[in-house]
Amino acid sequence: MDRPVEDSGDFAAIPDEFQRLWTPHRMVYIQGGEQPHIDECPFCRAPSLTDEEGLIVARGEHAYVLLNLFPYNSGHLLVCPYRHVATYDLATAEEVAEIASLTQTAMRVLTEISRCDGFNIGMNQGRVAGAGVAGHLHQHIVPRWMSDSNFFPIIARTKALPQLLGDVRAGIQAAWPKEHASEQ
C-alpha cells in the first residue's frame, strides 16, 4: 500500500539548499528544498492550522513557536510574532518580550529533552542576509551537539535527520511548560 505523501508546501518553513535524507523515511516528502505553490505567508497561515498541521509547539499571546520544516538539526525551532512584520525593529515591546521569553523556554525544553550541548540563535533580516521568508520576522533556535557536524553537509549537501518532524514536534510540545502550552 502506498504511504501518504504530504506536500511540503503545506507547511510553514524556511527553505534552504540542503536535501534531507530521512531516517526512517515516510510521511513527509521534500522535493528540492523549495516551498512550492504558496502565495500566502507561511507564518501568517500556520497559526490558523492545528498544531500538528502547522508544526506548532507553543502559542503565546503575541508570538508562537513552530518546528522548521527544513531543519538544520533535529529540533530546529522558529519563534514568530503573529503579526506580519518583516524586521525586529518593527516589533512592538510586547512582541519583543514574548519572543525573548519563548526563546528562553525553547532552550530549556530542548536542553531537557535532547541533551544538546549548545545553540545557534538568531534572525536573518532581509533576503540579502539569508532570510528564506523575508516578509515575516522569525527567530531561529538551532540545538547543537558536540558530534552534530559531519561530512554529509559538506560533500553531499545532505543531512541525515534521526527523527521525523511529527515525532519531534509532539515531544517538544509534551515537554513545554503548561502555562505556555498551546490550547489547540
The x, y and z cell numbers of residue 149, run together, are: 557536524
The x, y and z cell numbers of residue 155, run together, are: 560533500
Instruction: Say whether 131 counts as a known binding-site residue.
Output: yes
Amino acid (one-letter) located at 171: G
Least gap, CB of 129 to Zn ion (angstroms): 18
Instruction: Say whether 132 counts as a known binding-site residue.
Output: yes
Instruction: Say whether 130 counts as a known binding-site residue.
Output: yes
Number of chain positions touching Zn ion (CB under 5 A): 5
- What is the DSSP code (8-state) at residue 12? -
Looking at the Cβ atoms of 84 and 157, the one nearer to Zn ion is 84
Least gap, CB of 11 to Zn ion (angstroms): 14
The x, y and z cell numbers of residue 96, run together, are: 519583543
The CB-side HSE value for 41 (13 A sphere, CA atoms) comes to 16
Is 138 designated active site?
yes
Looking at the Cβ atoms of 46 and 110, the one nearer to Zn ion is 46
- The total number of residues written for the chain in this structure: 184
Looking at the Cβ atoms of 138 and 169, the one nearer to Zn ion is 138
Cβ atoms within 10 Å, residue 78: 28
CA–CA distance from 18 to each of 3, 70, 98, 119 (Å)? 24, 8, 31, 20
Least gap, CB of 160 to Zn ion (angstroms): 31
Task: Give the footprint of Zn ion on residues 23-82 (CB under 5 A).
Answer: 41, 43-44
Task: Give the footprint of Zn ion on residues 96-115 (CB under 5 A).
Answer: none
From 76, 84, 136, 138, the catalytic residue: 138
52 in Cβ contact with 45 (< 8 Å): no
Q: Of the candidates 84, 108, 127, 157, which one interacts with Zn ion according to CB under 5 A? A: 84
Least gap, CB of 3 to Zn ion (angstroms): 31
Coil, helix or strand for 60?
Answer: coil
* Contact characters 116-155, Zn ion, x per CB under 5 A: --------------------x-------------------
Helix axes 93-114, 165-175, angle to 10 degrees: 110
Instruction: Say whether 79 counts as a known binding-site residue.
Output: no
Residues that bind Zn ion (CB under 5 A): 41, 43-44, 84, 136
Q: Which residues are catalytic?
A: 138
